[in-house]
Amino acid sequence: MTSEVIYNGNLRTTATHLRSGNSIITDAPVDNHGNGEAFSPTDLMATSLASCMITIMGIKARDKNIDITGTKASVEKIMGSEPRRIAAINIIITMPPNTYTDKEKKILEGAAHGCPVGKSIHPDLDENIKFIWS
């Protein structure tokens, strides 16, 4: 088992990662009857994509001896309707100040686009990924 999710009432859950014991609270978004006081499940999906991309970049960067500490992703989730679903995820990945060669940029961007979360997303969902190389 990976996790356990408990419904707390009032459209809120607590998800616990069983191996570490760390927890995440989710809340329904304001546009879907919730209070929007925590990540919504769809927020987590969009955020998981960015986190996965940076993690896979980190693995590749470590292998190639490239320091990407401080890399940041800004995530925007766009909801669609009929059916209600995530229609688009916009991510801007800002790289920390460093001198990256064109080859390193290509390697890191390729790693990001190869992350397992991205490979698991339905092809109808628009992924708009932009890299900013400082």
30 shares its domain with 84: no
| Three-state DSSP class for residue 44 | helix
Same domain, 52 and 102: yes
If asked whether residues 26 and 78 sit together in one domain, one would say no
What is the pLDDT at residue 78? Answer: 97
Q: Which residues of the chain have pLDDT under 50?
A: none
67 and 23 part of one domain: no
Write the DSSP string, 53-99.
Answer: HHHHHHHHHHHTT---TT-EEEEEEEEETTTTEEEEEEEEEEEPS--
Residues 35 and 64 in one domain: no
Instruction: Please tell me the predicted confidence (pLDDT) of residue 33.
Output: 94
- The range of the structural domain enclosing residue 29 comes to 1-39
The three-point CA angle 62-63-65 to 5° equals: 60
pLDDT of residue 6: 98
Domain count, the chain: 2
Check: pTM over 0.85? Answer yes or no.
yes
- Tell me the CATH number at 123: 3.30.300.20
Inter-residue contact 56 to 111 (CB < 8 Å) = yes
Same domain, 31 and 46: no
- Sequence-distant (6+) residues with CB within 8 A of 109 are 131
- Return the pLDDT at 134: 82
Residue 97: per-residue pLDDT: 94
Q: What is the model's pLDDT at position 54?
A: 98
